[in-house]
């Protein structure tokens, strides 16, 4: 996982969750995230927010994100 400070991880999570509340579907949400350079990837540890540019996992996705 990318070595980010906790503040940066929280900002990324906040952006991802804000976009989730504005999107009408999971598909639209993932499309919106691509515009910011992020993606959601399923891993053994759960869902991770990843960087499209670096291809690296940045932080975990909150469990309630898809609820």
Q: In this predicted structure, which of 3-7, 11-15, 45-49 has the lowest mean pLDDT? A: 3-7
pLDDT tens column, 20-44: 999 999 999 999 999 999 999 988 8
User: Is 16 contained in some domain?
Assistant: yes
Average pLDDT, the chain: 89
Burial class (CB within 10 angstroms; exposed 0-12, middle 13-18, buried 19+) of 44: exposed
pLDDT at 67: 58
> Residue 11's domain spans which residues?
6-61
User: Is 1 contained in some domain?
Assistant: no
Q: In this predicted structure, which of 3-17, 29-43, 51-65 has the lowest mean pLDDT? A: 51-65
Domain count, the chain: 1
């Amino acid at each position: 996982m990318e070595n980010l400070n906790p503040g940066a991880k929280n900002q990324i999570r906040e952006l991802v969750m804000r976009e989730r509340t504005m999107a009408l579907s999971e598909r639209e949400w993932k499309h919106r995230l691509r515009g910011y350079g992020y993606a959601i990837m399923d891993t053994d540890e759960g869902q991770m927010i990843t960087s499209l540019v670096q291809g690296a996992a940045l932080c975990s996705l909150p469990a309630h994100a898809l609820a």
